[in-house]
Amino acid sequence: MTDCSPNHVPAAPTPLGKDLNGEPWSQHPWRYSSIVGMLIYLCTNTRPDISYAVSCAARFNSNPKVSHATAVKTILRYLKKTSDKGLIVNFNGTLDLEAYCDADFAGLFKSEAPYDPAVSRSRGGYIIFLGGVPLIWKSSLLLCITLSTLKAEYVQLSRSMTVLLGLKNLIEELLPRLQLPNLTAFVCSIIFEDNAGALLLAISQQITNRTRYLSQFYHHFWSFVHRPQDGPPQNNPNDPWHDGKIKVSKITTDKQRADIFTKGLTQVPFERNRFSINGW
């Protein structure tokens, strides 16, 4: 791949399917699973911009086709173009947590056979910043079949909340012991959601006829979310984020940083998302 043509994006806009009738990859001159394993290591450490593409390619480690190998080559061509890049760290001096989560409802539609159950699966993704620095990110298919965009977004919001709550609790437990200067004893946490229905359900916490089918499992974070009816903070008046609770906030799709983890983007929106995460 040293002589390959560079590429501007790591994945095509069209979802990568199983390609049941495609030609099997011969594993020559390189082993598919070996290259994908290296890419997984890279994307989980310093290159969140290739997480979606690598996650799609990793689905086919056991039986790759030529089309899947072509998708891996696209990632490598993109990495060649950006081989001098990485993750720019700009710490803002706080321990505030910012999370962005998104989902692509039935994102595999038309990429799999109509009779394949996978055609109904949605892809979700999230990224969490600590002090303005990307800390944890992930792109993966949702484990359950969702019946609507609202459910896909809400399930991903719930999954992201699980990670965010764990981080928040860990930091707040360590802070008193570390005795770091110029840092407050509480962690301001916010999660951004661009779906109005999921946002309303998370904040209002009211079950309606249209949302009662959602499992109670996905509502686990309700007691940790600030609601407008909760009023101003009582325990700590200096905490602008309401007694240490997590704020769920609306964000427009063009500013949704997690969009890069749910689908293949064209060059302009991809580079916009990449700049907001990687810093270049």
My answer on whether 57 and 104 are in the same domain is no
My answer on whether 151 and 274 are in the same domain is yes
- What was the pLDDT predicted at 44? 96
- What was the pLDDT predicted at 215? 83
Structural domain boundaries, residue 80: 1-86
My answer on whether 44 and 123 are in the same domain is no
The model's pTM = 0.93
Mean pLDDT of 44-57: 98
Inside any domain, residue 91 = no
My answer on whether 77 and 5 are in the same domain is yes
Q: How confident is the model at residue 199 (pLDDT cuts 50, 70, 90)?
A: very high
pLDDT exceeds cutoff 60 at 279: yes
pLDDT exceeds cutoff 90 at 193: yes
As a whole number of angstroms, the distance between CA 66 and CA 60 comes to 11
pLDDT exceeds cutoff 60 at 10: yes
Beta-carbon contacts of 31 under 8 Å, excluding residues fewer than 6 positions away, are none
The CATH number of the domain holding residue 163 is 3.30.420.10
pLDDT exceeds cutoff 90 at 16: yes
My answer on whether 62 and 110 are in the same domain is no
Question: Which of 66-70, 180-184, 188-192, 193-197 is predicted with the least confidence, judged by mean pLDDT?
Answer: 180-184
My answer on whether 135 and 68 are in the same domain is no
From 86, 114, 144, the end of a domain falls on 86
Q: Report pLDDT digits (tens) over 243-267.
A: 678 999 999 999 999 999 999 999 9
My answer on whether 271 and 163 are in the same domain is yes
Answer whether 261's CB lies under 8 Å from 138's CB. yes
As a whole number of angstroms, the distance between CA 53 and CA 211 comes to 32
My answer on whether 106 and 245 are in the same domain is yes
pLDDT exceeds cutoff 70 at 203: yes
Inside any domain, residue 26 = yes
Number of domains in the chain: 2
Q: How confident is the model at residue 174 (pLDDT cuts 50, 70, 90)?
A: confident
My answer on whether 129 and 265 are in the same domain is yes
As a whole number of angstroms, the distance between CA 184 and CA 191 comes to 20
My answer on whether 19 and 151 are in the same domain is no
Inside any domain, residue 51 = yes
- What was the pLDDT predicted at 229? 66
